Structure 1
């Protein structure tokens, strides 16, 4: 059926919301639109998404497209096709957010993370050093074995969320699709601005149980924040965790947001100049009574009072 890429904006962060604006749709293509990751670059909003991302049953050859808005998401320019950059492979962004580096090396660089198909899976980075006009491939972390049917316990990095740490390195929280080594999160690290994702810099975090799902990660006010259904095998128990030491350890058991069925999640926070005395976190997540995909909810969490 038809899918849409739609956005809504809040003039007063989280208090009220404007009308929903449709940025793109796929008509009636089977397995057409696959969202996606959003990034803010200066005064522009960038929306990266894929079409026909699940061959052979998809609607046609896979493509990776970039939309750009110069008015906060109220209108969008024509899509820029990045398929030549990714070399005809599937690059399904996120889902979640891209980042703009705040520190050296390569301060100001835009970084998106995406993954491939199940057999040709793995994660890779897209990089831009000119505000998103030109793009190129960065680090790649392929699945092992590559190009073969997946088996339980295979090394299969999948949906991913990048974030920048205080030393300027990029960490990538990755869905551990086939539970390689553990039923927990996989974390890759790049110390060269996303140019490489060295296999020897991949770690596994047993403190972050994960049922193979897209998770949210955000760095805000000196904390690394992480959200997912905190369970080894079932998509239930949506939980917010936080770390005071850049993800080395996680404080307590976290904050349970929804005990029932829950799925994908992502996070955002207002920029520091828009924060009040109590800094806020916005957590958007799938949830339901019977199924994790029944509704999408937004939780507003005070970093001063709720954690």
Structure 2
């Protein structure tokens, strides 16, 4: 290569290098999260209709409303039993009817069969970067017919669905013992390079009392075992956790304890989850459980500076209530 060619190549890379440098500096200096607001959305046992509220989910609508969901379990705190979906809706950001009314449910048995599939807990994603731009990806765990993590894919905005990636348990379709490989409840997140990272509950503490992390490089078609990692920084008591990618930063929430569901904590990574910043935000030291995060996608200050978290919170046990937390990511500004 000539000297002139080398200079031209350097100049062609300069914008990318400047962008990376600016982002790294901004991320490393400015991210200092604090809790800006908190309110209880649901408290179990306050009405005769609901014994316990569990499994929180939060998301946003294109019009800027925040929607928080939970399972309202009528008779007990158990997974099996009568329940309905509870919804709280924030309209502080101008909304008409987005999220107010819903169409009737539609059975997908003819497309997916009748085997048991438990999505999430958490949210599905729509791919924004190649490959498979626009694809809907919903990941969850199987039970009864087979356990492990499985993803459902739709390339026509949810009209039709098919099975995609899978990460099966070992031994598969057989009773499990402690320390067996049993991928369980999970949250997929698309990174800015187009890959999908799936943060997974390590249900039997295989290899460590920490989170499993699987990667898909083909838009959710596969989760190669060669890409499976165990993140020892993300200590975990086997629980459903929250994950969110915002402006190149990966965020994670869970009860940060390897034995008990306590010490609810927010962590963040500046390098796609390869490592985590040592600083953390401890949101609640007491009993805490499942969680979910979201953020708004607009260009306003509110959209850029905040993320929103819902999590199970209690004083004696983690399932007493579900709390909403607004986190200011840049408290020094």
Unaligned runs of 5+ in 2: 1-35, 43-48, 72-78, 83-95
Say if 2:204 is the partner of 1:186. no
**Cα distance in 2 for residues equivalent to 1:118 and 1:208:** 28
**Cα distance in 2 for residues equivalent to 1:130 and 1:48:** 25
Match of 2:331 in 1: 305
Match of 1:94 in 2: 120
Runs of 4+ in 1 over 2 A off after TM superposition: 14-17, 33-43, 45-50, 57-60, 83-87, 272-278
CA-to-aligned-CA distance 1:232-258 (integer Å, 9 cap, x gap)? 010000000000000000001411000
Mapped contact 2:54–2:319 kept (Cα < 8 A) = no
**Count, aligned residues:** 268
Structure number with the higher helix fraction is: 2
Say if 2:192 is the partner of 1:166. yes
Normalising by structure 1, we get a TM-score of 0.78
Higher relative contact order (CA 8 A, sep 6+): 2
Secondary structure of 2:299's match? helix
Instruction: Flag the structure with larger Rg.
Output: 2
The more displaced of 115-124 and 286-295 is 115-124
Mapped contact 1:37–1:48 kept (Cα < 8 A) = yes
**Cα distance in 2 for residues equivalent to 1:278 and 1:59:** 40
- How has the CA–CA distance of structure 1 residues 227 and 121 changed in structure 2, closer, same or farther, with 3 Å as cutoff? same
Among residues 309, 314, 323, which one is paired with 1:283 in the alignment?
309
Unaligned runs of 5+ in 1: 1-13, 21-26, 51-56, 61-69
- How has the CA–CA distance of structure 1 residues 78 and 71 changed in structure 2, closer, same or farther, with 3 Å as cutoff? same
Mapped contact 1:189–1:197 kept (Cα < 8 A) = yes
- How has the CA–CA distance of structure 1 residues 263 and 118 changed in structure 2, closer, same or farther, with 3 Å as cutoff? farther
- Offset at 1:277? 8.2
- For 1:57-72, what aligned pairs fall within 5 Å after superposition? 71-72=97-98
- For 1:224-235, what aligned pairs fall within 5 Å after superposition? 224-235=250-261
- How has the CA–CA distance of structure 1 residues 119 and 106 changed in structure 2, closer, same or farther, with 3 Å as cutoff? closer
Say if 2:273 is the partner of 1:247. yes
Normalising by structure 2, we get a TM-score of 0.72
CA-to-aligned-CA distance 1:124-171 (integer Å, 9 cap, x gap)? 111111111111111111111011111001000000000011210111
Q: RMSD of the alignment, in Å?
A: 3.4
- How has the CA–CA distance of structure 1 residues 147 and 34 changed in structure 2, closer, same or farther, with 3 Å as cutoff? farther
Secondary structure of 1:273's match? coil
- For 1:49-198, what aligned pairs fall within 5 Å after superposition? 71-117=97-143, 120-198=146-224
- Offset at 1:37? 6.7
